[in-house]
Structure 1
Amino acid sequence: MTPKSRTLLTALALLTSLTTCLPAHAASAPVRGKPGCSSSLPYVSGQGGYATYRIPAVVRTRRGTVLAFAEGRRDGAGDTGDIDVVLRRSTDGGCTWGPLTVVAAGDGDTRGNPAPVVDPRTGDVVLVTCGNAGTVTEAQIMRGEVPAGRGRRVFVQRSRDDGRRFTPPVDITAQVKRPGWRWYATGPGHAVALTRGPHSPKGGAPSRLLVPADHSSAPPANSSDSGQEPKYYAGHALYSDDGGATWHLGSIDAGHDGRTNTNETSAAQLPDGRVYFSARDQKGTAPGNRLDTYSSDGGTTLDRPYAVQPTLNDVPVVQGSVLQVHCPGAPLLFSAPSVPTARRALAIWSSTDAGRTFSKLFTLSDRPAAYSDLVQLGHDTIGVLYETGTTGSYDTLEFHRLRLPGAPVSARAPRVRGR
């Protein structure tokens, strides 16, 4: 057995507390997986009509189907241009994938930042995205050089048939974006349905659907960034209490102090009902590249401003994903690259104290890697959809299944074996 395999098996042994539970909306559907299936490639750049696939987001539906969303970038790896939100479905736990479908077409413009969530009450898949004109850049939007109609807009869609078809995008920008905001980004990565605490479903009422997001506004009047790309990002959340029909602004961290620049954000609901937010620090002056905070009222307000998470200092400036595994005593998981100065070596961290501290469980590989999203597949299995490759981080989107020990052998994903 190689040292890497021993490390992985040791790390998996730490996850024994994850083996008995599923999210409430998925408990009726068993996880399926082919013998020997540990990873698959739902997206390969250069195939399917797109030069590059980026920005993964993944959820598991009530029926057990895995939905892998991404941005299909037609002209290259850049964030601007003709970009669609695309989807592939898997009915065997992420081992094989159905045909690619376009969920939100850019038609020459930019559509992206998928943030899907499964409504526990109806089983509908609600997808929030955003976009802008295909000829403008993030820097131009942040400098205030782009008319409102060509800047960032926010959209919602719904699938009532397990992700086979989605309704056309509905523009909700006026509900969730303040007039003075310039940049706006949902997620990216899965959103959260609150199932505990004051906004949990009662008597058949909908759960609160919560989408973590970030935005920018004009730099302070005394800023030295005039005429340059501003660095003042801040976090916020948007939520729906009626299954995605209407939306509201929730918590806003509007410090814009340049010390911590809250950027791409993910969220998870902790067992005590609080929401944990984890964010990328986009070139802030504080040490480290990860920020976090909590909300005790379902994302309406924050318990404190975003602050540096020092136990994730190995993470570079990049998006990351958090997942609270649904099981008593189970840890909070975090995924991201693990080299502070480069996007490579995707790793999984664990927190057993509600996000106060994290420790690394294992590294999936030493290859280039960037964005990722975590999903619970079954009582003994989690999955991670992430950007990786051999020549660069954006060669493929790989889906990796990680078996959690303690279930009957017939139900397990394959063991990791040494050579």
Structure 2
Amino acid sequence: MYVKGAPCVVFVVLTFWCGFPVFSAGFTTFRNVTPKVVQEKLIWIKGQEEVSLYRIPIISYTSQGSLIAASEARKYSGSDHGPKFLAVKRSTDKGYTWEPQQFVSDDGSIVKDGLNLGAILSDDEKGIMFIFYTMCAHYDHCDTSTTHVIRSYDDGVTWTNSFNVSEQIGTRMFAPGPGYGIQKKLPPHVGRLVVCGHTSKRGMVCVISDDHGETWKNGGYIKSIPFKQPTKAGDFNPNECQPVELPDGSIMINMRNQGHYHCSCRIITRSFDGAETFSFDNLYFDEALIDPACAASTLYHNGVLFFVNAMSTNKRENLTLQWSYNNGTTWSGKLNIFPGYSAYSAMTAFSNSLKYGDELYILYEKGQNSANSMDSLSFMCTTRKDEKSQTIGHLAKDMEMLEMGITWNEFHWLAQDREGWRSYTGALCSSGSEED
């Protein structure tokens, strides 16, 4: 749903109809998926709770069946620099309603280079949630960059104080994600936690843990060219990234091509040893995944590889979901989610063990007037082609409300007031955004 004049971070729910299954190499691949948007809500909105701007959406399922969404609450301006809160929202009903936001970390009021998200990770074996973020990512009035992690042991209800992981992985700038980390489900290294990101002037790198996040060490990397030198347009500079485990146990990394090296498209690589090493022999450019050099998300779910991004060569717009039945060798279909200004996006789905159905959950930045002004963060869900959803009715009510002449100020107020919003739409709405 697009609200004219409304800035937001958007949450979208999609489900998809699956045709016949094909069994191969011990896993099932589904054919003929037909994603369909069934729910969209503004999760964070520019100016909400006196926060200047919400950016950098990340989202994950939990092992107990909840959804956790997080974003940067940029206190005084929309700059990547400056002080921020780490804002978290939790849903226990698959995104239909959201609990009031928590500010689970606060970098102060005078810091010049505040916290930057970030990656969220579910340890399904232990029921622990992790959120990683970086301090001093731009070396603005600070000399040492550090990576921090907070944990939740109660399904995202409460969060610990931050732990400085740089004591274990070093103090080079490491910017996780933005997106989610993974826990390996298949050999090699079953149970390993993997978080990937980028470094200043160095390229893409992963960190790994084999003891459920008690200790972390550096894993494999893809160096930028030139290495340890300032980069410019046209250089090979892998940047923000998202790991995903494929059915053979390998880890695919889908990376932002910061310098538009070779193409305005995504860089892809794979590791076959649990993210300990990466080789240029396994690196390629996926020219089907055109990209303006922006954060994106990928997800392997029920035999299908999904990818969502601002599908444009040079503009942050046209948020589109694509899917592949052969692990990204070819892409078989696409669904345009929002044709307007859109930027960073994140995606998750519940594990099959929870039996929550074929739903994808997307959180993305949604703009009003400019690709440089992502005013809100929106949550979206897709559902099965042959299913009807009450949420469709909710979206119709949303449009009716706006068509009745309710002003943006009234809309903004309603989005912050749960009961007031329900009285108009029967569902919550909120919004958010990032880099850079």
Q: Structure 1, residues 147-174: CA drift from partner, whole Å, max 9, x if none?
A: 22xxx21011110111011110000113
Match of 1:220 in 2: none
TM-score normalised per structure 1: 0.77
Match of 1:320 in 2: 296
Q: Structure 1, residues 309-364: CA drift from partner, whole Å, max 9, x if none?
A: 21112x21101111110x2xx21111101121210110011122212333441110
* Structure 1: runs of 5+ lacking an equivalent: 1-10, 19-35, 201-206, 217-231
Cα 1:316–1:15 shift into 2, 3 Å: farther
Q: Distance in 2 between matches of 1:359 and 1:335?
A: 14
Partner of residue 295 from structure 1, selected from 271, 296, 300: 271
Cα 1:147–1:261 shift into 2, 3 Å: same
1:191 and 2:181 correspond: yes
AA aligned opposite 2:105: A
Q: Distance in 1 between matches of 2:390 and 2:214?
A: 38
1:160 and 2:150 correspond: no
Q: Distance in 2 between matches of 1:15 and 1:52?
A: 38
Q: Distance in 2 between matches of 1:74 and 1:283?
A: 30
* Structure 2: runs of 5+ lacking an equivalent: 1-13, 22-36, 351-355, 397-436
Q: Distance in 2 between matches of 1:72 and 1:176?
A: 27
User: What is the aligned length?
Assistant: 351
Q: Distance in 2 between matches of 1:77 and 1:398?
A: 17
Match of 1:71 in 2: 72
| Aligned residues: CA RMSD | 2.7
Cα 1:410–1:13 shift into 2, 3 Å: closer
- Which structure's residues are more often strand, by fraction? 2
Q: Distance in 1 between matches of 2:358 and 2:393?
A: 12
AA aligned opposite 2:174: Y
Following superposition of structure 1 onto structure 2, how do residues 201-220 of structure 1 map, counting pairs within 5 Å?
207-216=191-200
Q: Distance in 2 between matches of 1:415 and 1:279?
A: 37
Cα 1:92–1:104 shift into 2, 3 Å: same
Please say if residues 57 and 188 of structure 1, whose CA atoms lie closer than 8 Å, have aligned partners that are also in contact: yes
Q: Distance in 1 between matches of 2:63 and 2:388?
A: 22
1:350 and 2:343 correspond: no
Tell which deviates more after alignment, 59-68 or 248-257: 248-257
Match of 1:404 in 2: 384
CA positional deviation for 1:260? 1.7
1:253 and 2:253 correspond: no
AA aligned opposite 1:155: H
AA aligned opposite 1:189: G
Please say if residues 311 and 359 of structure 1, whose CA atoms lie closer than 8 Å, have aligned partners that are also in contact: no
Match of 2:419 in 1: none
CA positional deviation for 1:274? 0.6
Partner of residue 167 from structure 2, selected from 167, 174, 193: 174
Q: Distance in 2 between matches of 1:15 and 1:248?
A: 40
Q: Distance in 2 between matches of 1:238 and 1:13?
A: 33
Tell which deviates more after alignment, 341-350 or 277-286: 277-286
CA positional deviation for 1:280? 0.5
Q: Distance in 2 between matches of 1:69 and 1:92?
A: 17
State the identity as a percent: 25
Q: Distance in 1 between matches of 2:86 and 2:18?
A: 33
The structure with higher relative contact order (CA 8 Å, sep 6+) is 2
1:120 and 2:124 correspond: yes
Cα 1:37–1:254 shift into 2, 3 Å: closer
Q: Distance in 2 between matches of 1:255 and 1:365?
A: 32
CA positional deviation for 1:91? 1.4
Match of 1:55 in 2: 56
Q: Structure 1, residues 192-241: CA drift from partner, whole Å, max 9, x if none?
A: 111111111xxxxxx1110011112xxxxxxxxxxxxxxx4400100111
Aligned-partner SS, 2:340 = coil
Aligned-partner SS, 2:338 = coil
Cα 1:191–1:412 shift into 2, 3 Å: farther
Aligned-partner SS, 1:354 = coil
Match of 1:38 in 2: 39
AA aligned opposite 1:196: L
Q: Distance in 2 between matches of 1:392 and 1:15?
A: 37
AA aligned opposite 1:387: E
Q: Structure 1, residues 272-298: CA drift from partner, whole Å, max 9, x if none?
A: 111010010112432223111001111
Q: Structure 1, residues 75-113: CA drift from partner, whole Å, max 9, x if none?
A: 121100011211011112112211110122111331121
CA positional deviation for 1:47? 0.3
AA aligned opposite 1:161: D
1:389 and 2:363 correspond: no
Match of 1:367 in 2: 340
Aligned-partner SS, 2:167 = helix
Cα 1:51–1:403 shift into 2, 3 Å: same
AA aligned opposite 2:312: V
Match of 1:204 in 2: none
AA aligned opposite 1:118: S
